[in-house]
Structure 1
Amino acid sequence: MRRVLVYVVIAVFGAGIAIAEGREDTRRLIGLLRLSDVIHVMRQEGLIFGAELGQGMLPEADSAQWAARVSDLYDTGKMEQVVEAGFSEVLQNVDQAKIIAFYDTDLGRRIVSGEITAREAFLDKPTEDAARARVSHRTANARLTQIGQFIEINDLVEYNVAGALNANYMFYRGLTQGGMIQMSDAEILAEAWAEEDATREDSISWLYAYLDEAYAELSVEELKTLTDFAATPEGQALNRALFQGFDRMYAQLSLGLGLAIASLGQYEEL
């Protein structure tokens, strides 16, 4: 963010300090949220998804060649750059002190640790399936009610659905740009959004299972503390920042996967 130069040197110097402090706060917050660790788990998710995608769409392709393409796409350095740029954009005019104060506590660190540990655990499909089954078979209780409130306050279902459908759209764009299929933009949109209902149902199931797993060590009172923070203007800004960063990352990855599939798919036909 640039500031207009004004009359005296001290004003320019003061503006420079404000910019530097804002960036330092963002860097500190990125560290507290352990975004680098989150992205490393997302790379593992991507490698698993990429392998499944290749088996389904490129059954005759060289599996080692496809694995290398997927690995190149899910480059953690590039992923971090995209996420941090989007994240920083939203927070550039937000006072991050309250967010930092919340996460720079024992509770904040346990929340972040639990989220990453649960995501790592879900790399194993049977573990994820078991977590989904546990939640679906539970009767309503105080924990699930609090988790539901957290989901609602952060609008997590709609954010996840929109992000997933946009990623689908970008994947089809990649296939189209790569010449594997011929579809108009309207047709791509229709194809992507055809999965809206199924995506919403799956998102609800995943969110309850994941958050129940991630916050298993938190008491109901601690869950309420987290939910109360999420409802504050700072908590809402953080939520928007995270989704903007990760949605941009997934959009780029999805486009790249579509282009890679198209490239190798055409090579197979030759």
Structure 2
Amino acid sequence: MRRSVTLLTLLALTAPLPLAAEGTAPGAALPAPTAETGKADAAALAAVLQLDPTFALLAEEARPQADALEEQFFPGRGGAAWAAEVAALYDPAVLRPRFDAAFAQALAGQGDVIPAALAFYGSDLGQRILTQEIAARRAMLDVAADEAAEVAAQDMRDARSPRLRLIRDLITAGDLLESGVAGALSAELAFSDGMAAGSPAGVPPPRDERMRQVWAEEPSIRGEVGAWLVRFLVLAYTPLSDEELKRYLTFSETPEGRAVTAAINAAMTETMTPVSEAMGRLTARFAISQQI
């Protein structure tokens, strides 16, 4: 099962120059987290990142993916049981605690990162960016909206728009393409492993062969992820000025910005890779049961 880039990877574009969070005087130093407060501070940052609507959106995205798997492996025979089991795998109440724990672990010992990220994500601009990204991601679940975003991106290419260069620089600064491709390949292999584990012995190819099959898709996945990122960000950042994007880019290139990106990517990988493997097992079980 090929997954698109996870939303949290996209949200890891981080921020403009560290702005003062609400209630903090400009230029005031924010205390670095200690070993005792680090976990709590990571939880505070996770809360600011609008994770409740984010994980709700991941559950929404799972539904069309589940429909595609049903059509491929057991057309029209999954029914309510299939939908319910897929929904359970993507239950935000299950996934959020996994992410929060992994996020805190990824940020452990990085005392300067959380204050800088809190300063931005707690700001008006930071919250507007997060809200726009979530809204754009949800909008692109609709094929017409996705196609309209591609037309807008193509118009910018044709016009050699400087704004498109800013968006591409943000993709590079956040390492979004590489992390997106790596995430998609890892998810496909995990799904393949789950299918193999849930299938009768001797049916799936050996793992090394399945790995070669997954890696053979890398060029096409890279093209799909790159194109998706551009049209997604073109849509998401439409309300932002070029100056706001430049500030966003500046922070994303700082050590703190890159560290937040890496922590979000690591936490999302730890959270979602087991879901892909479980989806593989679930798909194999339903396929086999429908054949009996």
Common topology (TM > 0.5): yes
14, 22, 42: which is aligned to 1:26?
Answer: 42
The one-letter code matched in structure 2 to 1:151 is I
Partner of 1:158: 178
Cα deviation code 1:130-169 (max 9, x no counterpart): 2123212322212111111110111111110010011000
SS in 2 for 1:81: helix
SS in 1 for 2:199: coil
The one-letter code matched in structure 2 to 1:25 is D
Partner of 1:13: none
Cα deviation code 1:84-128 (max 9, x no counterpart): 222222111112111111112111111111111111111212211
User: Are residues 1:176 and 2:196 paired?
Assistant: yes
170, 188, 211: which is aligned to 1:189?
Answer: 211
Cα deviation code 1:203-224 (max 9, x no counterpart): 1111011111111111111001
Contact 2:55–2:92 (8 Å) recurs in 1:
yes
User: Are residues 1:103 and 2:125 paired?
Assistant: no
Contact 2:66–2:83 (8 Å) recurs in 1:
yes
- d(CA) in 2 for partners of 1:237, 1:100: 13
Contact 1:70–1:257 (8 Å) recurs in 2:
yes
Kindly report which structure 2 residues correspond to 1:117-132, keeping only aligned pairs within 5 A, or say none. Answer: 117-132=135-150
User: Are residues 1:78 and 2:100 paired?
Assistant: no
Kindly report which structure 2 residues correspond to 1:54-73, keeping only aligned pairs within 5 A, or say none. Answer: 54-73=70-89
User: Are residues 1:242 and 2:258 paired?
Assistant: no
1:186–1:235 distance in 2 versus 1, CA, 3 Å: same
Contact 1:32–1:103 (8 Å) recurs in 2:
yes
- d(CA) in 2 for partners of 1:120, 1:60: 26
SS in 1 for 2:232: helix
- d(CA) in 2 for partners of 1:233, 1:87: 17
- d(CA) in 1 for partners of 2:206, 2:150: 37
Partner of 2:254: 232
- d(CA) in 1 for partners of 2:48, 2:178: 26
Unaligned runs of 5+ in 2: 1-32
Partner of 1:115: 133
Contact 1:60–1:268 (8 Å) recurs in 2:
no
The one-letter code matched in structure 1 to 2:271 is M
- d(CA) in 1 for partners of 2:76, 2:289: 10
Unaligned runs of 5+ in 1: 1-16
Normalised by the length of structure 2, the TM-score is 0.83
Contact 2:194–2:277 (8 Å) recurs in 1:
yes
Partner of 1:146: 166
Identity %: 31
SS in 1 for 2:141: coil
Structure number with larger C-alpha Rg = 1
Structure (1/2) with the larger helix percentage: 1
> Which of structures 1 and 2 has the larger relative contact order (alpha carbons within 8 angstroms, sep 6+)?
2
Structure 1 position 60, deviation (Å): 5.0
Normalised by the length of structure 1, the TM-score is 0.90
Partner of 2:11: none
User: Are residues 1:134 and 2:152 paired?
Assistant: yes
RMSD: 1.5
How many residues are aligned here? 254
SS in 2 for 1:18: coil
- d(CA) in 2 for partners of 1:165, 1:26: 28
- d(CA) in 2 for partners of 1:166, 1:46: 17
- d(CA) in 2 for partners of 1:134, 1:93: 42
- d(CA) in 1 for partners of 2:68, 2:78: 14
